[in-house]
Structure 1
């Protein structure tokens, strides 16, 4: 017969609990069956209700074959000729392709092409949200329903998307695949074009600055083309020298002519004798004509009147006076002299005035030409001093322009190479495009099964908790079977 230590109740309790019979467990379940059923029914009812909430989803699947091209081959700098190309690991490559396929850019582009209002109308109708936020929420939901899985031991990627509408599910999958292919070409494109575009932009800025500096320098000094302007100024100065020499000669000739005419004018008298008459021929002839008229009148009067008639007497007195005047004039002849302005002096004075005017004009023209020649000479000296600076600006601009043209040529070559590389980097082929699914995938049974398991767990947990919290007594028969000794009374179980 075995004995046990009465001072160690924990060892007694553990031994008795370990040897509990199925009948005792059934009795405990029977006692707490109401609470255990409640612990099972409540979670089960909740999961049963939840199993009817999700809508069946139609899943469209597209298969992609990934071939390893030179985009996954690293070509180091081969200047020394010893570096060898290195290829990436297969698993890394396929995982990288999956990450590109599930990237936000790919999902945003697919959503933009299909339309948020078509894929998720409830999100599109949230007018209080901004377009960016609606796009973010829709992309997050697409990402949850999008699956990109690698088939084991193959280079195939399966892209699956679920949606309540089978047509939309197929459209989204195909647009995601198309966006993924475009995004992939962009990522694996050679960076040479982007670098050279930056170089071309920098040279454009430098060229614009050089043009601005040169234009500002020309505006400040009023110069368009130094060489052209210097040539014009030199030609103009040569012409000016010829005109100045001619003006000097004209001025000297004018001064000499004025001096000559002044001396001639001093020698020419102002007045000269114009006419000299030695007999008054005109007065005697008039007197004789008058005397003839008087005799004819006397004859007429004597034929009509007597000699003592006053008319006859008066006529005869006039005849005597005329005869006396004629005799006096013929007896004492006189000379008449006329003087006037010397026309030679007038002509000399006119020539002198003209000569002085021409001499003054020639002197003024000579002074003007001298000032112009001085200004041209000064401008030529200024341009000669500035020519070195403008030649430096032109050299700098030429260097920048040459660098710009060289980078433009390199950029064109790089773009051609990038385009060729993009065409050569299409190493992902579509095995199967996303088709319209016929059957929908429902999660009702899955939710129901999960609810059943959790409900059972809850029921067992409740039963165990109730058994621990309720004080009980071990039966005498159980203690006797466990210890193999007779027991007079029931022993309380130790918890």
Structure 2
């Protein structure tokens, strides 16, 4: 059967193609027909893969590890009150937060700024030197940060406080230097993240409390001045003591007055009963002041008892007058003290309000001052040490490097072989005609009596 016959046999009238039937035994012969195409595809892809593998450079990987333990920065300290004080983060979340800090881009930028591009990536250092604008320089620094991110690998195992870090670089010394510098900067950088020494919240709140306390103090002093009070509590206690003393004096004065009034009444009765004159017997010459009363030398004179009673009555009357005046004065004093105490009682609610507001603000200001000092002390301590974060193993320059040339070449050969096979199968399917007598017999469902080789023109 000629080539033209095979073609006609697989194409029905009206350009309708008839589906060809193949068997596994046909594949070697069919693929052999496409050997030139397959070889071309295989060689092309293999050469490209080998060229790409030859551009890869040997990279050296440095190792280090860090121990993460619970620290003060993970213990909750409320800014106001004591609710929840001492609550700490669980170890798993604590390690995850440290991983996030260790993988932060600003940390890598700090490493580059500390070491410089000449020690980290010399190629980028030359590009940075050629950059003319700040934007171009920033772009070069961004490329350096991304290079560190590509070379850095951070790992941790569940339920363990150990964080392992790996960094690969073309230069073994640079790999160890960059990784060690990264860990050193991490110990510094994490303090700025977890402990915020420059946070103005406490200071601002303290200033607010100071202003409010100044207003409360002014209102308190104005209240005392307007009401002529030096010390409210002391004056209240003094008024109570004074009124008690006045009441005691009033009781004593009343008792003395009643006693003297009673004595005066008794004395008046005695005075009425005592005669003003009495008979005095004297000699014939007589006594001055006496007058004769008949014969026998009887003489009348002033009764000394009546005179003594009269003197006592005058004295009692004077004392009663003085006691009455004292009683009136004590009563007036008691009334004034009562009025002052009532006035203080009326002012006491306002005084208590001002005093309570003043005391609350003083206590709040004291608490904020204490917390501010504690936070400042904690920041200063944290700035000098990170006892809960320790570098277990520092990175050392690796002695053996890793190259991806072998895996890349093997992958390139595998991809080239698969691609060549796929190209051969595709060409086999797309080639017109019936390539073998067996496929012709299966496709046309007719026996093949003979086959002749085909020669092109």
User: Which TM-score tier does this pair reach, normalised by the shorter chain?
Assistant: 0.5 to 0.7
Give 1:115's aligned residue.
116
Q: Give matches, 1:115-154, under 5 Å.
A: 115-126=116-127, 127-129=130-132, 130=134, 131-151=137-157, 154=160
1:48 equivalent among 28, 47, 50: 50
Q: What residue in structure 2 maps to residue 96 of structure 1? A: 97
Measured after TM superposition, the shift of residue 435 of structure 1 is 0.4
Indicate the residue corresponding to 2:29 in structure 1. 27
Once residues 128 and 188 of structure 1 are traced to their aligned partners in structure 2, the CA distance between those partners, rounded to angstroms, is 36
Structure 1 window deviating more from structure 2 (67-76 vs 140-149): it is: 67-76
The structure that has the greater radius of gyration is 1
CA RMSD of aligned residues (A): 4.3
Is the contact between residue 70 and residue 425 of structure 1 (CA under 8 Å) also seen in structure 2?
A: no
- Note if 1:487 corresponds to 2:447: yes
Equivalent residue number for residue 412 of structure 1: 373
Task: Give the Å deviation of 1:407.
Answer: 5.5
State the partner residue of 1:155. 161
For 1:461 and 1:427, the matched residues in 2 are separated by: 59
Post-superposition CA distance 1:226-252 (Å, at most 9, x none): xxxxxxxxxxxxxxxxxxxxxxxxxxx
Residues 141/203 of structure 1: CA separation in 2 closer, same or farther (3 Å cut) = farther
Q: Please say which of residues 452-461 and 131-140 is displaced more in the overlay.
A: 131-140
Counterpart of 1:446 (choices 403, 407, 418) is 407
Structure 1 unmatched ranges of 5 or more: 1-6, 211-399
- Distance in 2 between residues matched to 1:128 and 1:82, nearest whole Å: 53
Question: 2:428 matched to which residue of 1?
Answer: 467
Match of 1:59 in 2: 61
Instruction: Tell me how far apart the structure 2 counterparts of residues 78 and 195 of structure 1 sit (CA, whole Å).
Output: 12
Q: Which among 437, 441, 463 is matched to residue 398 of structure 2?
A: 437
CA separation in 1, counterparts of 2:208 and 2:124? 44
Q: Is the 8 A contact 1:193 1:411 kept in 2?
A: no
Residue 419 and residue 97 in structure 1: after superposition, are their counterparts in 2 closer, same or farther (change >3 A)? same
* Counterpart check, 1:179 vs 2:185: yes
Q: Residues 62 and 179 of structure 2 are in contact (CA less than 8 Å); yes or no, is this contact kept in structure 1?
A: yes
Instruction: Sort the Cα spacing of 1:403 and 1:37 in 2 relative to 1 into closer, same or farther, 3 A.
Output: same
- Report Cα offsets for 1:383-406 as digits up to 9, x if no partner: xxxxxxxxxxxxxxxxx9999998
Structure 2 CA distance for partners of 1:474 and 1:46, relative to 1, 3 Å: closer
Tell me how far apart the structure 2 counterparts of residues 413 and 74 of structure 1 sit (CA, whole Å).
13
Q: 1:309-343 CA deviation, whole Å, 9 max, x = no partner?
A: xxxxxxxxxxxxxxxxxxxxxxxxxxxxxxxxxxx
* Cα contact 1:75–1:86 (8 A) shared by 2: no
Q: What is the CA distance between 1:30 and its match in structure 2?
A: 1.3
SS at match of 1:98: helix
Q: Give runs of aligned pairs for residues 353-368 of structure 1, distance below 5 A.
A: none
Equivalent residue, structure 1, for 2:106: 105
Structure 2 spans left out of the alignment, 5+ residues: 1-11, 216-360, 452-457
Alignment: residue pair count: 285
Contact kept in structure 1, 2:195 and 2:379, CA below 8 Å: yes
- 2:295 aligns to what? none
* 8 Å CA contact 2:156, 2:164 repeated in 1: yes
